[in-house]
Each structure stands twice: as structure tokens, then as C-alpha cells.
A = this chain, B = another copy of it.
Amino acid sequence: MTNSEAAAQSLSIGEVAERTGLSVHALRFYEREGLLVAPVQRTSGGRRRYTPFDVEWLLVCVKLRESGMPLADLKHFAELVRHGPGNEAERLHLLDTHRQRVDAQIQALEECRSVITWKVAVYTEHLARGAAEGLWAPTT
């Protein structure tokens, strides 16, 4: 890949914000916090140019954040990747631990869901009966 091809593929911070759903503020913040694998390239004028690699990494970050991974863990993961090959076992462990948390979270949410569904049914029935009995009781 030539320099110009690379330049053509690279994106400004605004474009990356659009593609990742992160704000430009958040992108700069993530960078400061060391969440990126490599320092972002700059134009001669000092503007950031993100490579497709950067964007893909950020998309993974977004998914991990969405699922509740703390920034500190994300930073640790980035450090491992930055450090290069040889620590795949640790990366694996990090991800697998997180997957377990996600599983637990899904389960918890499904429980919440059924509690809510139950409550919704209660109110729906109440309304159907013309709200004849006004008293709210937690279990009914």
C-alpha cells in the first residue's frame, strides 16, 4: 500500500465519530486514557488521521463498553495488544472473564424482564376491570 492509498483510507476524527457512535470528545478522551493500541497518526497540520485498523479497534471497544466492560479493562486489553504477540493467553482470559459477566448480565436482565412483565400484566388487568380496586400492593 502506498502512502497516498493509506491517506485515502484514513479518516478524520469527525468521520470516525460518525462511524463509531462516539463523540469527538470521547475519541480524544479515549486516546488520552491510553485505550488505543497505537498513537493516532497526524497530518502535517496536527489533525488526527485514523486508519481502518484504528476504527475497527474502536468498534470493538464500543461493543465491549456497551456490554459493561470498564475503561480500565479496555485499557489493559489495549496494552496487551500493543505489547504484541506472546500474551494471547492473557487476552483470552480477559475476554472470557468478560463474557461470563455478560452472560450473568443477560440472565439478570431476563429475570428483571419477567418481573416487569408480571407487573405490566397486573396493571393491564386492573385497567381492564375498570380499576375497580385502587389499592396497590407490591405483590399483586
Q: Which residues of A contact B (CB under 8 A)?
A: 37, 53, 56-57, 59-60, 63-64, 66-67, 81, 84-86, 88-89, 91-92, 95-96, 98-99, 102-103, 105-106, 108-113, 115-117, 119-120, 123-124, 126-127, 131, 133-139
Min distance, Cβ A95 to any Cβ of chain B, angstroms: 5
A-B contact pairs, 26 of them (CB 8 A): A53-B137, A56-B139, A57-B138, A60-B119, A60-B138, A63-B111, A63-B112, A63-B115, A64-B116, A66-B108, A67-B113, A67-B116, A84-B134, A85-B133, A85-B135, A86-B134, A88-B131, A89-B123, A89-B127, A92-B123, A99-B116, A99-B120, A102-B112, A102-B113, A106-B106, A106-B113
Determine if B86 and A131 form an interchain contact, defined as CB atoms under 8 angstroms apart. Answer: yes
Residues of B close to A37: CB separation below 8 A: 136
User: When the two chains form their complex, are residues A64 and B112 in contact, meaning their CB atoms are under 8 A apart?
Assistant: yes
Quick one: which of A63, A108, A134, A139 has the most chain B CB within 10 A? A63
Q: How far is the CB of A106 from chain B (nearest CB, A)?
A: 5
- CB contacts (< 8 Å) of A113 on chain B: these are 67, 99, 102-103, 106
By the criterion CB–CB under 8 Å, are B109 and A106 in contact?
Answer: yes
